[in-house]
Amino acid sequence: MLAARLRLSSLWISQTARVLADWSLRMAAFSALVASGASNGWHLTTALFIAPFIVLAPLNGVLSNGLPRRYVLAGAASFSLLAVIVCIWLKTPWHICLAIVAVGSAAYSAARYAMLPAAAIDSRIPLPRVSGWIEMAAAAAIVLGALLGIETPATSIPLLLLGLNALCLITAGPASFPSDVIRPEPPMRGIADFFRDCGRVFDDEETRSSLLALSAFQAIVTAGSGVLLTLLFGGEESPNALFRPMLLLGIGAAAGCGVASLQGHPRRCLGLVPLGTTGLLIALGWAGLAGGTDSVPCLLLGFMGGLVNVPLRATYLAAVPADARGNATSIMNTTIYVLTTAVAIVPLTFATGGVAVDPAVQLAVLILVSAIGAALAWYVLYAQTLEVIVEVGLIPLYRIRAFGPGAGRLPLRGPLLLVSNHAAYLDPFWIAKVVPRQVRPMMTSLFYDLPVVRWLSRHVARAIRVPTGTFRREAPELQEAIAALRNGECIVIFPEGILRRTEEVPLRQFGRGVWQILEALPDTAVCMCWIEGGWGSYFSYKDGPPGKNKRFDRVRQIDLAFSEPRPLDRAILADHHTTRAWLHRAVLECRGYLGLPVLESQEEQTRPCEETAAEPQPGG
């Protein structure tokens, strides 16, 4: 794990040097064009840089998908370094050098993004956090690179570019991750499969949605930045006029990415998107009210851009097929640049046609589009946002940690049944905090039907309600759990069927419901969990009912131990007695991952084994 983190650090340095070199060159090219009297120098340098990302997308994808990505990084960095050397030697104009270097940068970008999921797996750092660190460095490097490109004397620019490109190459070499998946293919087959992978990306709802949302948001931020620049400086196109709003945008973006990286949960990070889109709307509205007299909206716009960019990009990278990551990241870059270019071309087209587009009108259109986007984000992702708010509210109350072979290695997709002890009402919340996907707890009506909890259970946690009772002929909740598992979801079940009541019996005998679920779906991966610290909390029955005779929790340590998820042997599932006893013992053995003694099963202290198939099994 330490070696993987060192390799991730090397990748971080390499990509930071890449962005620094590219933006130093962009600003040097822009400054040279402005000095020569060229008009639309900014648009020209931007077009020259992004063209290879769009035009060479299949080639970028094939290289990154079929070759070891470390070699792609090193090869692309070598190409860019060689291009700089040749251009310096031939005294080629900087904007021509930029067009050539951009070819290497496009291939480098696709490979760098494609490595991040494997880097997260090998370093055991959540992908949203890895993505946040990468994007934060990139945003800061844009600002610093622009500053270097503007302030560095013309005679020193060649040395600066040589040094940054060399640093990018040197640190690209060690960036290799064993979990990375490549798909070696002949060139023509690779090109054909690039377009096939385009279909795979857009056929999957999660990848399609995250990609389109990311691209649309990037386009709005870019267009908004251009409008704010026009309002602030009247469209003046000079390096000095551009630098201040770029500085504010870059600082804001770096800060937004840093804040987003604090939320490492692969699903819950999407809860930042509605907050970010709302902030974007506020930034644009602020700019409209200020009428171009205040540059603070630039800072806010950049911050919200970073806050939304990280979760959407991480979600996309996590959702794409492992064998198509190289093609998928090339598709990502292309889609972002195509949509951003399309948004930027609209007012430019009117302007070149002789129709002046008032920046205030552009801003009004962007505000309307942002309002629609914010409303859509809240409609789709309100549950994740509420989870983020609840999680923040739990920070001063609990310190939650995960241990065991299953910690950090639970599957992000596919059916998963999580079997746990049940000592406090908040057990489902603590599990949801550390399990890297949405969990659906089976919850008894005693807790499910509480005020406020009912709404949260139904609309946020999507809990499965288990009616309270000792005997029922029907158990529809079990069929609902089976259907959810068939749909690839994660179900949390507390087979004791009741909260822990006494000190002497830490784990009661399991009911038949868990066996009925596994009998219907014997190939389901099962993960056992032990929660330590819940007993004695404010929401437990120790020394009285929950909320009685206990101080409210504050900075309470909650430790969860997870076994390795795997299907149970068919012999264990032969009958319900064997299954229940085996699971009971397996949950107790998870205590060992916490350094606690593994307790012996005490059948005489558990409830009698008269539960029927209809008895409510899950706890609440």
**58 domain-assigned:** yes
Q: What is the pLDDT of residue 447?
A: 78
Rg, the chain, Cα only: 28
Across 261-286, average pLDDT: 91
Q: What is the pLDDT of residue 531?
A: 95
Same domain, 370 and 452: no
**620 domain-assigned:** no
For 144, the domain range is 2-394
Helix (H, G, I), strand (E, B) or coil at 477: helix
Same domain, 348 and 407: no
**613 domain-assigned:** no
Q: What is the pLDDT of residue 77?
A: 96
Of the listed ranges 3-12, 239-248, 502-511, the one predicted with least confidence: 239-248
- Count of domains for the chain: 2
Is the model more confident about 343 or about 349? 343
Residue 471 has pLDDT above 70, yes or no: no
Backbone angles phi, psi at 322, to 5 degrees: -60, -35
- Residue 234: count other Cβ atoms within 10 Å of its Cβ: 10
Residue 446 has pLDDT above 90, yes or no: no
Across 226-231, average pLDDT: 68
Mean pLDDT, the chain, rounded, equals 87
Same domain, 496 and 469: yes
Q: What is the pLDDT of residue 96?
A: 95
- Sheet of strand 398-403, all strands in order from the earlier edge strand to the far edge: 398-403, 556-562, 525-532, 416-420, 490-493, 439-444, 464-466
Q: What is the pLDDT of residue 197?
A: 92
Q: 487, 64, 140, 526: which is closest to 317 by C-alpha?
A: 64
Q: Given the structure tokens 């490097």, which residue do they identify?
A: 141
Please identify, among 332, 367, 394, the residue that sits at the C-terminal boundary of a domain.
394
Same domain, 342 and 429: no
Q: What is the pLDDT of residue 111?
A: 95
Q: What is the pLDDT of residue 550?
A: 86
Across 468-479, average pLDDT: 72
**525 domain-assigned:** yes
Same domain, 373 and 500: no
Residue 340 has pLDDT above 90, yes or no: no
Q: pLDDT band at 236, cuts 50/70/90?
A: low
Q: What is the pLDDT of residue 616?
A: 38
Q: What is the pLDDT of residue 89?
A: 94
Q: pLDDT band at 348, cuts 50/70/90?
A: low
536: left (phi over 0), alpha (psi -120 to 50) or beta: left
Same domain, 378 and 485: no
With a CB cutoff of 8 Å and minimum separation 6, the contacts of 502 are none
Q: What is the pLDDT of residue 444?
A: 83
Across 464-468, average pLDDT: 85
Q: What is the pLDDT of residue 224?
A: 75
Same domain, 417 and 368: no
**Which CATH number is 233's domain given?**
1.20.1250.20
Q: Are 398 and 430 in contact (CB under 8 A)?
A: yes
Of the listed ranges 286-300, 329-343, 515-529, 574-588, the one predicted with least confidence: 286-300
Q: pLDDT band at 543, cuts 50/70/90?
A: confident
Across 266-279, average pLDDT: 93
Helix (H) or strand (E) holding 491: strand 490-493
Residue 540 has pLDDT above 50, yes or no: yes
Q: pLDDT band at 16, cuts 50/70/90?
A: very high
**28 domain-assigned:** yes
Torsion of CA 176, 180, 186, 187, to 10 degrees: -70
Same domain, 441 and 369: no
Same domain, 408 and 349: no
Cβ-count burial of 209 within 10 angstroms (0-12 exposed, 13-18 middle, 19+ buried)? middle
Q: Give dist(CA 233, CA 132) in Å, integer.
A: 31
**611 domain-assigned:** no
Taking CA atoms, 432 is separated from 153, 401, 460, 465, in Å, by 54, 12, 12, 17
Question: What are the tens digits of pLDDT across the range 84-131?
Answer: 999 999 999 999 999 999 999 999 999 999 999 999 999 989 999 999
**478 domain-assigned:** yes
- Residue 178: count other Cβ atoms within 10 Å of its Cβ: 10
Same domain, 502 and 473: yes
Same domain, 149 and 243: yes
Is the model more confident about 202 or about 605? 202
Please identify, among 334, 368, 394, the residue that sits at the C-terminal boundary of a domain.
394
- Residue 380: count other Cβ atoms within 10 Å of its Cβ: 14
Same domain, 461 and 566: yes
Q: Give dist(CA 257, CA 127) in Å, integer.
A: 13
Of the listed ranges 80-84, 107-111, 349-353, 428-432, the one predicted with least confidence: 349-353
Sign of the CA dihedral 564, 568, 571, 575? positive
Please identify, among 394, 424, 458, the residue that sits at the C-terminal boundary of a domain.
394
**146 domain-assigned:** yes
